Amino acid sequence: MAGKSTIAAASGHTLVNGSSVTVDTLRTERRAALASVIGTTIEWYDFFIYGTAAALVFPQVFFANTGSGGLLASFATIFVGFLSRPLGAAVFGHMGDRVGRKSTLVATLLLMGVATFLVGCLPGSSTIGSFAPWLLIALRFLQGIGVGGEWGGAVLLSMESHQGKRRGLMASLPHVGVPLGLVLSVLVWSACARVTGDHLLDSGWRIPFLVSGALLVVGLLIRLGVPETPEFIEANRTDGRAVVRRETPIVEAVRTQWRAILLSALIRPGEQVAFYMLTTFVVLYGSKQLALGREFVLNAVLVAAIVACFALPFFGHLSDRLGRRRTFLAACVAMTLFAFPYFALLGTRSHLAVLVAMIMLMVIHSAIYGTEAAYIAESFPAHIRYTGASLGYQGASIIAGGPAPLVSLWLYQTFHTGYAVAAFLAGMALISAVASFFLGRPTPKVT
């Protein structure tokens, strides 16, 4: 074995999982993974600071004239961002399959960053009246389009740049950008709350949005330095259909891959409801209804997100070893079973129990989320993969992710118990488990 390593090193190659790859290839893979993670972190930072503001700030700044309905109206704007995601998936999916993964990711990052920065510049309803919430909704709509195109490109840039047998791991790495973005957003919000104090509702809330402008420059510099994926280049060089086909990627994807698109959407409700329930509804529920304090709840979410940064790649790797469907199904069953114990632990109002509950929910969520990137992407052929995978992935935003905070709030206000929300989570996780039986084949175990 030592002899083989010496020979490989001398020839400019190295051994990875028994396969010989060039040092340049490894460097490209790492750069692609880093660009995906950094860019995704920035985009999700933008998305999460909006969610926190919608729960704690926007009801007073933009919806003060709606009375007691201000909170529901604010939460409804969160759904607007999810509603526009499929549009982003279609537009940027077409661009990603025709022009390339890299240039598309630059465009999604630019759109998201500019929209977020402008939210921080918006005057409130006390200044321009009813125009303020409509402008907020418009910018949220643009945010959703950017995020809708981001996921497919980030996952494919990392996964398709990899030449070995760790595609599940590589595809899961961009997902690490989600909890990293959450961590960054919580840290910035906490810092702003401490520094601005009583002025948070006046001008302090704008700081997290304005910070997005600086992060945008960093993300663009990183993504511009990454080459196109070999798999995209190969598909367009040898496939022929990129030149002679008459159909656009979205038409071909819907016509030939409608089943995979539908199932890709249906495997996601459990993961989406769990995550947006944790990051939006539970912030409100824990800080106000359970009287745990806003700072403690945000810190608990922060700790859970840090744990997810390590759990996501672990489960991506596990899916390479055990198979996508087997890993995914087990995680969905675990989420179904944990829904009621989760709210029982929250109901104790014990800081330790609440922290444990949030960490456990995030670990189970990571088992689902860390597996589904490659699970969905591998269900589509390379030449329409960006479009097909993005449409399926973002389709779940309308049926699950977007409504999750709003439905959770409505259930609690209607039934006055967290167990009504737990039933919602369990039901969505069960749908994901059932749908996973029909999507693709499990990846063979790597030995």
Distance, CA of 149 to CA of 144 (rounded, Å):
9
Q: Measure CA of the first residue to CA of the last residue in the chain; give whole Å.
A: 17
The beta strand positions in 292-339, using DSSP E, are none
Q: Tell me the whole-structure pTM to 2 decimals.
A: 0.82
Whether 416 maps to a domain, the answer reads: yes
Distance, CA of 173 to CA of 178 (rounded, Å):
10
- DSSP 8-class letter at 19: E
Whether 444 maps to a domain, the answer reads: no
Distance, CA of 142 to CA of 62 (rounded, Å):
18
Distance of CA 18 to CAs 13, 15, 33, 251, 271, Å?
12, 6, 21, 40, 34
CATH of the domain at 88: 1.20.1250.20
Amino acid at 106: V
**Continuous segment of H or E residues that includes residue 142:** helix 131-160
Per-residue pLDDT band for 321 (boundaries 50, 70, 90) equals very high
Of 342, 364, 362, nearest to 353 (Cα)?
Answer: 342
Distance, CA of 183 to CA of 177 (rounded, Å):
10
Tokens describing residue 442:
């499990």
More confident residue, 219 or 350: 350
Q: Distance from CA of residue 74 to its chain's centroid?
A: 21
What does the pLDDT look like over 354-369, one tens digit per residue?
A: 999 999 999 999 999 9
What pLDDT, on a 0 to 100 scale, did the predictor assign at position 67?
61
More confident residue, 47 or 150: 150
Of the CA atoms within 13 Å of residue 6, those in its CB half-sphere come to 3
Range with the poorest average pLDDT among 83-97, 172-186, 236-250, 422-436: 236-250
Distance, CA of 50 to CA of 297 (rounded, Å):
17
Phi, psi dihedral angles at 20 (to 5 degrees):
-95, 125
What range does the domain containing 147 cover? 24-234+248-436
Tokens describing residue 90:
């279609």
Whether 269 maps to a domain, the answer reads: yes
Of 56, 170, 50, nearest to 116 (Cα)?
Answer: 50
Of 159, 164, 439, nearest to 323 (Cα)?
Answer: 439
Of 189, 217, 168, 204, nearest to 371 (Cα)?
Answer: 168
* Number of structural domains the chain divides into: 1
What pLDDT, on a 0 to 100 scale, did the predictor assign at position 82?
82
Per-residue pLDDT band for 396 (boundaries 50, 70, 90) equals confident
The pLDDT of 365-382, averaged and rounded, is 93
Contacts of 233 (CB under 8 A, 6+ apart): none
What pLDDT, on a 0 to 100 scale, did the predictor assign at position 261?
94
Instruction: Say what percent of the chain tops pLDDT 90.
Output: 40
Whether 112 maps to a domain, the answer reads: yes
Distance of CA 86 to CAs 270, 326, 398, Å?
19, 28, 8
Distance of CA 67 to CAs 55, 62, 74, 123, 124, Å?
15, 11, 12, 19, 15
What does the pLDDT look like over 198-251, one tens digit per residue?
A: 777 778 888 999 988 888 888 888 888 888 888 888 877 654 454 445 578 899
Per-residue pLDDT band for 28 (boundaries 50, 70, 90) equals confident
Provide the greatest CA pair distance for the chain.
Answer: 75
What pLDDT, on a 0 to 100 scale, did the predictor assign at position 218?
86
Of 230, 212, 112, nearest to 170 (Cα)?
Answer: 230
Distance of CA 8 to CAs 13, 25, 29, 161, 164, Å?
5, 14, 18, 21, 16
More confident residue, 66 or 94: 94
CB 286 within 8 A of CB 341: no
Distance, CA of 121 to CA of 211 (rounded, Å):
12
Whether 34 maps to a domain, the answer reads: yes
Of 303, 296, 285, nearest to 346 (Cα)?
Answer: 285
Whether 82 maps to a domain, the answer reads: yes
- DSSP 8-class letter at 26: H
Query: Mapping DSSP to helix (H, G, I), strand (E, B) and coil, where does residue 446 land?
Result: coil
Amino acid at 365: H
The pLDDT of 79-95, averaged and rounded, is 89
In total, the chain counts a number of residues equal to 447
Query: Could you identify the residue written with the tokens 């055990």?
Result: 322
Whether 289 maps to a domain, the answer reads: yes
Distance of CA 33 to CAs 26, 146, 156, Å?
11, 19, 10
Tokens describing residue 219:
């993300």
Per-residue pLDDT band for 18 (boundaries 50, 70, 90) equals very low
Whether 441 maps to a domain, the answer reads: no
Distance, CA of 359 to CA of 294 (rounded, Å):
17
